[in-house]
Chain A
Amino acid sequence: MANGVMTQTQYIPYLAQKGLKSWILTTDHKRIGILYLVTISFFFMIGGLTALGMRYELMTPELDFFRSTTEYNVAFTLHGSLMVFFFIVPGIAASFGNFLLPLMIGARDVAFPRINLLSFWIYLAGTAILLFALMQPADTGWTFYTPYSIQTGAKVIMITLGVFVLGFSSILTGMNFIVTIHKLRAPGMTWSRLPLFIWASYATAILQLLATPVVGITLLLLIAERAFDIGFFDPAKGGDPILFQNFFWFYSHPAVYIMIIPAFGIISEIIPVFARKPIFGYKAIAYSSFAIAIISFFVWMHHMFVSGISETAAAIFSFLTMLVAIPTAIKVFNWIATLYKGSIEFHSSMLYALSFIVLFTIGGLTGVYLGALAIDVHLHDTYFIVAHMHYVMIGGTVMGFFGGLHFWYQKWFGKVFNELTAKAAWFLVFVGFNVTFFPQFFMGFQGMPRRYATYPAEYISYHAISTYGSWILGLGILIMTVNLLLPLMKKSNYPKSSNPYGSLSLEWQVPSPPPHENFDKIPTVTDWTYSYGKNRSEANAKK
């Protein structure tokens, strides 16, 4: 597709430079991508450990692992805040986004490399504040609902400030990506040839720009509420606690799509390569990301169906929530249709991509339960929500994230991992995840409320199974991590080819790892990114 083949004479991989300074002052998008990847992985591990602690506590109805219910509450607050704000929101968008975006569109870097580094530094500042906040952790849940977050004796300001600072990083990254996609596409890389990961990054960046400022002001108001007692959310002072929920979800619902849309992008890249087929319904997938992004701004009240909002508001938001399901369903059908009459190779990244489809389908279908008003009343704030959310966030985003890691691993690091171990780890992750979270749907139907440190004895069997599952899942992730880290420490395991899977996308047309400025000569794009098998089919037509 592209004629930008590298001349190997002056090839210096971007990883060649060593030393701390070459990392913390880098403006190379690929290195910044690695910086994000390392940081978010660190927070993913901490968030995962708190989750294992919570699951261990919930093995029995009584309090036995944590010393008090407050400690449990702190644990789920940490788990939620770390996973949402520090891992999954910046996760794929910032790490894969940074690494892939310029490579895929045929550019040397993002539009503002220095602002890109600034974004990372702001992100790091936010995490520093958060780590400081860990010394006196909050117990509000990641949603910081008022008035509890105003009244609790725990320290709320620091963790909120950390999240607030992160917001700026998100905004700057989003701005940078939009400008890059608009201004720096290689010749011939028209909008209708763009890889779907780029479309997904574009939709995500728009969401980041539109939604993040609103959560910024909300958290700022919460800080002011605690510091100066301004009374916006305090009914005793004429304020309105529901206003906080409105503000919060106006951001946080689109934020759910900030978390999942980049994963859609990754899946749309992996499947065509390993099926050797053009992606089915390219335009439908690209546009549906935007449809989802736009509608996602008008569904926030579905988090508040039992908070006493008017019947009319509830009906409108239920209707709009159903609308979001349509573009989501279309994507799933398109991915499956791509497999039809393909030549499918079950690379570990493909296994993650296929399990993404299955698990995300469960996440999506259970979302329909919650969008239907009368059912939501029963299921709201139960483990059904917990299960649904994790099917979307782990079954969806994290599976996409893992899939992407395995897919672009050798491009990124110039090393190969053990494929058999990767498959074994995938199996444990897939089984462990389902054993952990599937019973939670039933628990939710039975009425088990979320955020309970102790619980009525009748729910014990579901909880026990779920805890066993969390161990399998944890083991799977551990094996996967070791398998991906080992090759980096060895002086062997170099890839045989720079494009082993036969991808047509631009990032695979450069060596692994790519040189500092990606392309010796900016390539000229002459065909669609997904025209797998086109030549043969044209040849057949001539016969």
Chain B
Amino acid sequence: MSTWIPESASNLAASVDNITLFVTIVSVFFFVLISAVLVGFAIKYRRKSEDQETAYITHNSLIETIWTIIPAILLMVIFAWGWIAFKELRNPPAEAIEVNVVAKQWLWEFEYFTGKKSLNELFVQQNKPVRLIMRSDDVIHSFFVPQFRVKQDILPGGYQQLWFTPTKVGTFDLLCAEYCGSGHSQMLAKVNVLSPEAFARWEKGDELEEGAVVAASSISPVERGKDLYSQRGCLACHSIDGKEVIGPTFKNLYGKTEILQDGSSVLVDENYLRESIYEPEAKMVKGYPPTMPSFKGILSEDEVTALIEYIKTLK
């Protein structure tokens, strides 16, 4: 947060930042000039006496021409520069690695060419161009990573693409930038940029290791469940403090008896929770919309266990 523009972590950031800097210099120059002249005139020509002499000046063609042409030239330079940098943003190199992205209310799914899948966490390799092929299942979303200076709306009924080459190892926020409903501000995900070695390990890794940048064994199931809760997007619909969001709150959920849509009731235990994660529509609690997607193939059995352990602690 120390600088006015976020850290640059992709190959595209530099050219965007250069033109931004240019526009900023031009803007600050004109703003200071305009304000200084305004304040200067206001002080110098303030009314000191009622019969103060004023000049009768209606126009001046020379100065008017000058202040039309100079901004016009600068604006054309900015336009051209912006366009050139934009072309770069829009045209991915042929060798880019493709990742399929599905945006839906309110989570992100990623599918890699190896067949691997991940949820709310995108894994990319440092210095390797990536091309995202994105579609939406419902309304318009927008893929935005500030550190990469990229953004692209994702529309239903077609594919949108976006590309970048991550240049720094680390974890970056992925934000949904187009308003998409009640879970919009929680439609967050992470982009994990891994070094070539780490990426190779991740690619070979089994389901257990997937998603965990930190080794899975080093933390308890409750802590792991807590991480999953935020990483996998549960938080978009289920609160942990008793607030009604989209789905039932997790607070005091475990051990409670819920009324289902057909009027029957069910005790919330481990089996019910697991079933509701893998087949959300099997036993729907009365009064909630059927919006939750199945997490089959996304959350492993171990991860579900960890999540349930975490839910149990929420009293």
Contact = CB atoms under 8 A, between A and B. Distances in A.
B87 A311 contact: yes
A381 B138 contact: no
Nearest to B86: A373
16 contacts: A241-B155, A277-B55, A279-B58, A318-B79, A330-B64, A345-B47, A368-B26, A372-B79, A374-B16, A374-B81, A377-B150, A381-B142, A381-B177, A445-B4, A445-B5, A532-B56
Nearest to B155: A241
Nearest to B34: A361
Contact of A372 (B1, B23, B181): B23
Contacts of B45: 275, 339-344
A217 interface: no
B52 A147 contact: no
Nearest to A321: B79
Given A147-B138, A323-B75, A532-B56, 14 more contacts: A145-B179, A236-B157, A241-B156, A308-B160, A311-B87, A337-B63, A343-B54, A358-B34, A361-B35, A365-B30, A377-B149, A446-B6, A449-B175, A531-B56
B158 interface: yes
Interface in B197-236: none
B169 interface: no
A311 to B, nearest CB: 6
B175 to A, nearest CB: 5
B22 to A, nearest CB: 9
Interface string A428-457: 000000000000001001110111111110
A445 B6 contact: yes
Interface stretch (B36-44, B116-124, B250-258, B299-307): B36-44
Of the candidates A153, A283, A374, the one having the most CB atoms from chain B within 10 angstroms of its own CB is A374
Contact of A354 (B20, B42, B81, B138): B42
A283 B59 contact: yes
A312 B173 CA distance: 31
Q: Which 9 A-B pairs have the closest CB atoms?
A: A235-B157, A447-B146, A372-B82, A374-B85, A373-B86, A537-B56, A452-B185, A341-B55, A343-B52
Contacts of A534: 56
Nearest to B78: A372
Contacts of B176: 449
Nearest to B152: A306
A333 B67 contact: yes
A446 B138 contact: no
B139 A68 contact: no
Contacts of A341: 45, 54-55, 57
Nearest to B1: A458
B231 to A, nearest CB: 14
Nearest to A335: B38
A341 B145 CA distance: 51
A148 B6 CA distance: 31
Q: Which secondary structure characterizes the binding site on chain A?
A: helix
Interface residues of B, number: 87
B166 to A, nearest CB: 16
B23 A369 contact: yes
Contacts of B52: 276, 343
Nearest to A532: B54
Given A151-B139, A372-B81, A375-B20, A69 B57 contact: no
B23 A368 contact: yes
Interface string A134-152: 0000010100010110011
A337 B178 CA distance: 42
A530 B176 CA distance: 52
A314 interface: yes
A332 B33 CA distance: 12
A333 B5 CA distance: 30
B277 interface: no
A339 B43 CA distance: 10
Interface in B132-162: 138-140, 142, 144-147, 149-153, 155-158, 160
B182 A69 contact: yes
Contacts of A373: 82-83, 85-86
Interface in A296-314: 305-308, 311, 314
Nearest to B88: A374
A141 B16 contact: no
Contacts of A531: 56
Contacts of B11: none
Nearest to B173: A456
Interface string B70-101: 01100110110111111111100000000000
B20 A346 contact: no
A462 B153 CA distance: 26
Nearest to B172: A447
B71 A329 contact: yes
B41 A336 contact: yes
A536 interface: yes
A282 B149 contact: no
Contact of A241 (B59, B140, B177, B185): B140
A452 B82 contact: no
Nearest to B58: A278
B186 interface: yes
A374 B15 contact: yes
B275 to A, nearest CB: 26
A52 interface: no
B138 A332 contact: no
Contact of A306 (B19, B38, B72, B151): B151
Given A326-B75, A336-B38, A354-B42, A343 B184 contact: no
